[in-house]
Structure 1
Amino acid sequence: MTYVVTVDTCIPEGTPEMDPLQRAGAVALVEDGFDSVRAIEGPDGVAVELLDTIVAVHPGGALLKVIVDAPALEFAEDSVRALVDELLERSELLADWTIERCEVELHQDLARKSLDAAEGPDAPPDDPATRKARHTGGPTPEGAEEAYDGEAKAAAVRSRMLGVAAELRSFPPAVFGVPGEEGDGRADGDGEFTVSPASAALAAGALVHAIDILVDELFEDVQVLTQEDTTVAECEGPLWHLERLPDRYALQYDARFARRFLVTVIAMTTRFTDGSFERLSCVAEELALRFLLSQAIVTLELHGLLDDEVAAALDAFAGNAYEDMDHEWLYDGATDGIDASALGVGLDGAPIAFGSWFTPFGEDRYVHPSATDEPEAAAR
């Protein structure tokens, strides 16, 4: 069976957070370690095949997704923990890192079979749309079973968002349109909203909340494309987000692209939350931010939390985070059929052709090493 093992590793307690150069070095060490392994010897000598890995390093450690073929869940988890332990010990620079979490996630097809077989009052809904609504906190589709009290759920979601708002360390309230501590959210003479600190906090919390959902669902998209060995245009399985990328390049969104896009999302949102964000680094990050904003808005709307003031706060955030909106050209149906070279640069000369989506806008921009362009890709 195919299992996805999620491993959270952390730097030693009390150690300063890693800077970009140290994070790049950690990525190289971990990926080189995985590249040297083809199979793992699990408990009782059972062989566990290593199928794929995704490495995302952040200032406080690394998030690893290790995809293995194992006879049982326990073998997968124990084998991956032993492997990661060994990889860390091999490197003098990573020897003191610790494993905070190592858990198995069933592959999507197996999870569906398990859900279909589940019984009892606490079993997940059989209907995939209902399960997706429950996962995202959305309303139950018409005709499906009742899931929960909408008002109570909305209050709980609002409280959770406000509780995590401070984690968006790179963006003070002014980025969300708060003019000062006195902002009260009332419309000014032109009918435009002055955003209050409370609404700015809810908008910030919605973005942090959306990060978790977006990353988890993109992991599932990566796994679906990997399992089918296909592209978004030809994929038969369900996808959460990648179908919302510009249609003109759907035949080029394969599993490798999906992994690079996922790593880009993680790298961008890490800078959002660790306080190091300055500017978006590449076209892929511009698209990633579009997805993040969309996810935040959808969640707020589902729970009746998106009033005019919160919407204004998100608009202000987008206006400050984006330097321009040239990437919107990629969604312009009027340009379909135009040669890619005609879409090669935006108004400011930044590259937007598909082969340059992961190319930094400048030498001062940070793109994760696992997502950077290969020479032949950049030439397309």
Structure 2
Amino acid sequence: MRSELLADWEVKRCEVDLHPELAQESLIGADGPGVPPDDPAARKARHSAPPSAADGSEYDAQAKAEEVRARMLVLAGEMRSFPPVMFGVPDDLEDGDGDDWDFVVSPEDARLAAGALVYATDVLIDELFDDVQTLEREETTVGEYDGPLWHLEDLPERYVLQYDTRFARRFLVTVIAMTTRFTAGNFSQLSCIAEVLALRLLLRQASTNLELFGLLGEGVSAALGAFVDNVYEDMDHEWLYDDSMDGIDESAVGATLGVAPMSFGTWFTPFNEGRYVHPSAADEPGASAGVPPS
């Protein structure tokens, strides 16, 4: 919902005030055995490790895997924009008896893949928010920061010096806007290069979570592959990760490879007038219009 009354407003800061007594209780308990390590690299490794390695206690891997699997299957219902066919389930088998599912993606594998994407959305947004805070606190860019980051360092390396706090905020808003359309049921197409890259990170996070709990079977992997084929209009963005293209004029690359313009300055530009980019992430007024992908 948009309001003309707020058209000139700009969010400068987002804060949460802690309750003094509750904050004190947290500080008192911060020296316990489960306290996260101070070193950011060690903390990232801990969060990325299986729970058994993270907390040092007895851990029932099978029970945890079943718990996560059940959670993902429930979350699948939130992926309203994508029916099972988008995950590779043929229309005529969605309600079938499963006799031929050895050769296609089963509805259950499709649900698990969909739920894994919703599950990964929370993780991705939380960790990107942490990346934004880190860049803001250190007043630096991804390329200049010495410590580890959750996701921003996994964007195309050639632009790391341009990934500053403002970019990080715009990218975070883009992820939220894109995944909101996924779950709201009104997604049509990816809107800009930033969304194309955001989906790449989301898919990787979903695969990581599934693999972590031993849930990335052939059927689920095939379902995610079908989703990629159906949502991406092309895979032109992969050349952004091609180190052999680094330093080559982007317009020349686009003309040679027949891909849409992907220069850094166009990442938040809608591919065409029919695509939606959140106002907080959109280009400044007067920026050049985007060009539809081929």
TM-score by length of 1: 0.66
Q: Does 1:352 align with 2:267?
A: no
Instruction: State the superposition RMSD in angstroms.
Output: 3.1
Whichever residue aligns with residue 192 of structure 2, its letter is C
- Residue 231 (structure 1) aligned to one of 141, 145, 153: 141
Question: Which residue number in structure 2 is paired with residue 32 of structure 1?
Answer: 9
Aligned residues: 281
Q: How does 1:268-307 map to 2 (within 5 A)?
A: 268-307=178-217
Q: Indicate conservation of the 8 Å contact 1:232/1:242, yes or no.
A: yes
Q: Distance in 1 between matches of 2:10 and 2:197?
A: 31
C-alpha offsets along residues 58-102 of structure 1, whole Å, 9 cap, x if unaligned?
Answer: xxxxxxxx147xxx7348xxxxxxxxxxxxxxxxxxxxxxxxxxx
1:315 aligns with 2:230: no
Gaps (5+ residues) in structure 2?
290-294
Letter of the structure 1 residue corresponding to residue 9 of structure 2: D
Q: Distance in 1 between matches of 2:183 and 2:135?
A: 29
Closer/same/farther in 2, CA of residues 162 and 330 from structure 1, 3 Å limit: same
Q: Does structure 1 conserve the Cα–Cα contact (< 8 Å) formed by 2:250 and 2:261?
A: no
1:176 corresponding residue in structure 2: 87
Contact 1:283 1:351 in 2 (8 A): no
**1:209 paired residue number:** 119
Q: Tell me the CA shift for residue 373 of structure 1.
A: 1.4
More helix by share: 2
Deviations 1:177-209 (A, max 9, x none): 011222737433xxxxx0111110000000000
Counterpart of 1:73 in structure 2 is 18
Identity of aligned residues (%): 59
Q: 2:243 is matched with which residue: 316, 329, 333?
A: 333
Give the C-alpha shift of residue 124 in structure 1: 2.8
Distance 1:230 1:158 in 2: 39
Runs of 4+ in 1 over 6 A off after TM superposition: none
> In the TM superposition, what is the alpha-carbon distance from 1:229 to its structure 2 partner?
1.0
Q: TM-score, structure 2 length as denominator?
A: 0.85
Looking at structure 1, the residues matched to 286 and 159 of structure 2 have their Cα atoms a distance apart, in angstroms, of 17
Query: What's 1:151 paired with?
Result: 62
| Structure 1 position 187 matched with structure 2 position 102 | yes
Please say if 1:265 is aligned against 2:242. Answer: no
Q: Is the 8 A contact 1:345 1:353 kept in 2?
A: no
The answer to whether the Cα contact below 8 Å between 1:134 and 1:140 also exists between their aligned partners in 2 is no
Which has a greater percent of strand? 1
Name the structure 2 match of 1:167: 78
- The answer for the alignment partner of 1:252 in structure 2 is 162
Partners in 2 of 1:260 and 1:282 — Cα distance? 12
Q: Is the 8 Å Cα contact of residues 120 and 202 (structure 2) preserved in structure 1?
A: yes
